[in-house]
Structure 1
Amino acid sequence: MRRVPWPLLPVCAALLLVTSCGWGGGADGDEGRAPGPPTGVTAQAGSATSVHVMWNAVPDTPGVRAYQVYRGTTKVEEVPGSQHMVDVTRLRPSTVYAFTVRARDSAGRLGPPSRAVRARTPALAAADRSAPTRPSHPAGRVLGGREVQLSWGASRDDRGVVSYDVYQGDAKIHTVGGDQTATVVTGLRPGTGYVFTVRARDAAENVSPASAPVPVTTPGTDDGRGTAPVGFAATTHHTGGAYYIDLSWDPPRVDGVVTEYRILLDGAAATSLVWGGTPPHGRAGYSFYVGRTAGQEHRVRLRARLPDGTWGGWSAQRTVTTGG
């Protein structure tokens, strides 16, 4: 999910029109051609030791498998092609860093770097244990079925606010600089209710209490089919005297990375699956225990927690029988 700070929206919209010309050879169209350079790259210090880097998806290039983020000439992060932002951590305070982003396709071809963007980490205040005050008077305005504008009053801090983190529910979905008190959140779902809060952060990673919640509902309708896992399959296996259900699926095609799923077994919540780091590329799989009795029939389905912090649509339901 791409979220663009409000003041940068016109610039990023213009940058989306930029395309690559001839990178990677391939005189016969896009086949055999490496991806172009990502556009709309921004970098914003999140604390004295971290920088939040964002970019636009490479347009008109199928098969982008991953994005690589470079600090100078050093690759520091690689994220799935569905993810367009990352926090680069373990940086030095009071230091200027230059970041570029490169796209890699499913054939392993690496595109050219984006333009370099710079960010300066603030000084680390010694023994700073005082958190900023909570952002005041938050408000939301619907701009369309897939985007809203958020605004809030500035927080106070004895050493200065470095950044604001935007949450949807309990999921952090965006970060903007400490000098900004508004942003546009995009990549939302039509006909969906959201509750946003904002927290301020200082250079020592002290975080304010959450602002008052901002409920908004995007117009339109969404039946959930576009956000459901696809190709969902379920089988069983027997080992060590116990039966297990084996699930496999393709993640929903959404703008961002999915790290959490909720599994429904026989109409009740069975378990949640959470990847602590980057989830596997491509098809996912998971097995869980269902008992020791053969001939038991079970109905199972799952759904994903989306990058916008909401739950997507349920997958198709599958029925399996232990020992069958």
Structure 2
Amino acid sequence: MPRRFAPPSLRRHLALCGTLVLVASCGWAGAEEGDVGGGPGAPTGVTAAAGSATSVHVMWNATARVDVYEVYRGTTKVKEVPGSQHMVDVTRLRPATLYAFSVRARDSGGRLGPPSRQVRAKTPAAVADDRSAPTRPSAPGGRAAGSRAVQLSWSASTDDRDVVSYDIHQQGTKIHSVGGGQTATVLTGLRPGTDYAFTVRARDAAGNVSPASPTVRLTTPGTDDGRATAPTRFRATSHREHGAYHVDLSWVPPRVDGEVTEYQIHLDGRPATSLVFGGRTPRGRAAYSFYVGRKAGVTHRVRVRAMLPDGTWGGFSAERAVTTGTGR
């Protein structure tokens, strides 16, 4: 696919609005029929925690339009997992060693997005001949924290050496991991109105795993129509430059607990491009402009949604219609 570049006026516009990392270069210029698309964005919310003396558990938030995630140790790719998976255990590491990890997303067309920020984790020292597992975590409890998250807590396990990490399981599948010094965590990216069953297991440096804690059963409340997480005051206009038409968008970011750095633009009912704001994210009003073709009198439908801090997509903004050549 040939490389495309933003027109000069748009580059000036982005310079005024702050640093904007364009995740999908193809979103600047597609076929004249309006075939606008692009690659995935950089994964956000990446964390790393030692799971044993020879393993580190890496986690990240979901990214739109992903077929595969690539996990890197330094500059070396060490794992690939399907797009439905947002965590991995990196194994065969050296004890007592500091490592740096990052994640990249790849879509079904083979387009590789930019790397996430690097996160670091140090494996503990190895313990010889340790075959004793930690005790079972006790007194687990929890509560729903809104419709898409829960808070869990438990009493600490004991071990003849040290507890290195706690693994949280949902219906027998590990979905989260925290360091051995923690006895509470928040699980995000859950669905509203859904029953969940969680257990906790402790792990030591030798990789010995405790029995599962008693089960904590929680239900996230209600249903979510997306209105509370949708961008508001959404506007769409068009302008002509260098013989081509562009759609100019602006909106007010949703009010959520945390920063919103990634958005997805839908054009004529399908995803067109994603964008990630780097540096200072817009607080009052965000703006974005992209190429849609050279024909006047073409009407497009456009809307936008935000990637929320919990790793899920928020609700869509109102849909606007914009016609090239009319300025509106």
What amino acid maps onto 2:47 in structure 1? Answer: T
Q: Select the residue among 164, 167, 176 that pairs with 1:165.
A: 167
Runs of 5+ in structure 1 lacking a partner?
1-17, 223-324
Matched, 1:81 2:86: no
Aligned to 1:192: 194
Aligned length: 202
- Per the TM alignment, residue 54 of structure 1 is displaced from its structure 2 partner at its CA by 1.0
Equivalent residue number for residue 53 of structure 1:
58
Note closer, same or farther for the CA distance 1:23–1:173 as it changes in structure 2 (3 Å cut): closer
Q: How far 1:143 moved relative to its partner? A: 1.5
Distance 1:146 1:25 in 2: 32
- From 27, 34, 37, the counterpart of 2:39: 34
Deviation at 1:196, TM superposition (A): 1.8
- Structure 1 length-normalised TM: 0.57
2:124 to 110, 122, 125: 122
**Unmatched 5+ residue regions in structure 2?**
1-17, 225-328
Q: Aligned residue for 2:228? A: none
The answer (yes or no) to whether the contact 2:163–2:204 under 8 Å persists in 1 is yes
Q: What residue is the counterpart of 1:97 in the other structure?
A: 99
What is the match of residue 6 of structure 1?
A: none
1:43 aligns with 2:48: yes
Output one character per residue of 1:126-152: Cα deviation in whole Å (capped at 9) or x when no partner: 011121122122111111333211001
User: CA 1:65 to 1:95, structure 2 compared with 1: closer, same or farther past 3 Å?
Assistant: same
- CA distance in structure 2 between the aligned counterparts of 1:57 and 1:197, rounded to whole angstroms: 23
Equivalent residues of 2:87, 2:175 under 8 A apart: no
- Two-structure CA RMSD over aligned residues (Å): 2.4
Aligned to 1:22: 22
Contact (CA 8 Å) 2:55, 2:89: kept in 1 or not?
yes
- 2:148 is the counterpart of 1:146: yes
2:111 corresponds to which of 83, 88, 109: 109
Corresponding position of 1:204 = 206
1:24 CA displacement? 6.0
Measured in 2, the distance between the counterparts of 1:117 and 1:209 equals: 30
Tell me, in whole angstroms, the C-alpha distance in 2 between the residues paired with 1:142 and 1:56: 19
Q: Aligned partner of 1:139: which letter?
A: G
CA distance in structure 2 between the partners assigned to 1:221 and 1:112 by the alignment: 34
Q: What is the alpha-carbon distance in structure 1 between the residues aligned to residue 216 and residue 46 of structure 2?
A: 28
Q: How does 1:226-265 map to 2 (within 5 A)?
A: none
Q: Indicate if the aligned counterparts of 1:20 and 1:37 stay in contact, CA closer than 8 A.
A: no
Picking from 180, 183, 202, the partner of 1:181 is 183
User: Which structure exhibits the higher relative contact order, with contacts defined as CA atoms closer than 8 Å and separated by 6 or more residues?
Assistant: 2
Q: Provide the identity percentage.
A: 73
